[in-house]
Amino acid sequence: MIQTTFPEPAVMAELVARMLWEIKAVHFNAAEPYKLSSGMRSPVYIDCRKLLSYPRVRSAVMDFAAATLMRNAGFEQFDCIAGGETAGIPFAALLADRLGLPMIYVRKAPKGHGRNAQIEGHMPEGARVLVIEDLTTAGGSMFKFIDAVRAAGGVVDHGIALFYYGIFAEAEERFTNGNVKLHFIATWRDVLAVARDQKLFDEKTLTEVEAFLDAPLAWSGRHGGVTELA
């Protein structure tokens, strides 16, 4: 099924933010910050995997992903869609179906037995591969998959995250230095805008979230978390 409609990026961003609130995939809690795997303390948390459990939401988000890619990258720019283990795998399958392309998936590390494969599926030498993740914070995990695809003979000039934190300068530097154009649909700024518009939280919570988005590592440090990314 090929996507052929192209909503404005701002419309897609707002709708995805609204969907995330509707299915309770995003959370704000400034009083008891979340501890992330990086050691950061954060007043925001997201679980994009919940998108898979809501067919209408899931379908709309994948339509938006396809539209974003064709608008910003082109119509015949990819030979294959690659999903990163584990959360990226189902979204890769859905996007590959939308775009009528083959799909592969990339392990975090070679599996250690059999063929010791890190990439599962068929990827010809020189294939132009799009790597997809459900979300990207600073880009570190996506580049593990990108590097594996490149090492296996694939060409990666583009990546897409359904949701992008959009608050770390390190991420922009990583993608620029890695020669990868990152595409995305929505960010925490979009989620915050919907929360303000719908008055989902008190002003103190919204102000704290905005302070975190403006200076995430400083906010983390003030709340007992790490002050730099690994």
| Binding site as annotated, residues | 107-108, 111, 113, 133-141
Residues of the binding site for 5-phospho-alpha-D-ribose 1-diphosphate: 107-108, 111, 113, 133-141
d(CA 217, CA 161) in angstroms, rounded, equals: 22
Per-residue HEC secondary structure of 208-227 comes to: HHHHHHHCHHHHHHHCCCCC
Tokens at residue 216, please? Answer: 């995430």
d(CA 20, CA 50) in angstroms, rounded, equals: 9
Residues of the binding site for orotate: 137
Q: Give 111's contacts (C-beta < 8 A, 6+ positions apart).
A: 117, 118
d(CA 78, CA 36) in angstroms, rounded, equals: 33
